[in-house]
Copies of this chain bind each other. A is one copy, B any other.
Amino acid sequence: MSTPDADHYAPEARDADSTAPAAVQGNLFAGLPTTAEIPAALAAGERFDHLLQRPGLRLERIVSTGQASPTGFWYEQADAEWVVLLTGAATLRFADEAAARSLQAGDWLYIAPGRRHRVESTDATRPSVWLALHFVETAAIALLMNPPACCP
């Protein structure tokens, strides 16, 4: 969410291992930094854990510890994103809105493909856990689910 994720720019790479989930169970709140570990976690950068990966579908946990999008950087993703902040706090800005939105635990957003946005801030005193679902948003999928009769 808040720093550029290389996966956003390499869809072919992120779908490379799409035959099985890396894990079939886990805990979203496991492995979070303690308060004392927050400064080191901030310096190390956000943590990304892929929970589910399929063609056109990727679910990931992101743990922010005070990071924000780089100055002047805007996400502009080809895929749609459904994202929820589960713990912590953050401010998220859409380029087409005058002010940033303040997000608290439980707040979720749908981000349409191509809608420019950036994370203005995340809580620097406790972990902010995001759950982000990236998916291909196109009417083409509906067509592909019911392929035309030309295909044998």
Measured CB to CB, the residues of A under 8 A from B are 18, 21, 23-30, 51-52, 54-57, 59, 82, 84, 86, 104-110, 131, 133, 135-137, 141-142, 144-145, 147-148, 150-152
Do residues B142 and A145 form an inter-chain contact, with CB atoms below 8 A? no
Do residues A55 and B141 form an inter-chain contact, with CB atoms below 8 A? yes
Do residues B147 and A144 form an inter-chain contact, with CB atoms below 8 A? yes
Do residues A142 and B109 form an inter-chain contact, with CB atoms below 8 A? no
Residues of B within 8 A of A131 (CB): 84, 131
Do residues A24 and B110 form an inter-chain contact, with CB atoms below 8 A? yes
Residues of B within 8 A of A23 (CB): 110
Residues of B within 8 A of A107 (CB): 25-27
State the number of copies, please: 2
Minimum CB–CB distance from A85 to chain B (whole Å) comes to 9
Residues of B within 8 A of A59 (CB): 82, 133
Do residues B54 and A84 form an inter-chain contact, with CB atoms below 8 A? no
Residues of B within 8 A of A55 (CB): 141-142, 145
Do residues B25 and A108 form an inter-chain contact, with CB atoms below 8 A? yes
Give the nearest-CB partner of A52 in chain B.
B82
Given A51-B82, A59-B133, answer yes or no on A110-B145 (Cβ-Cβ < 8 Å). Answer: no
Given A52-B82, A150-B150, answer yes or no on A106-B57 (Cβ-Cβ < 8 Å). Answer: no
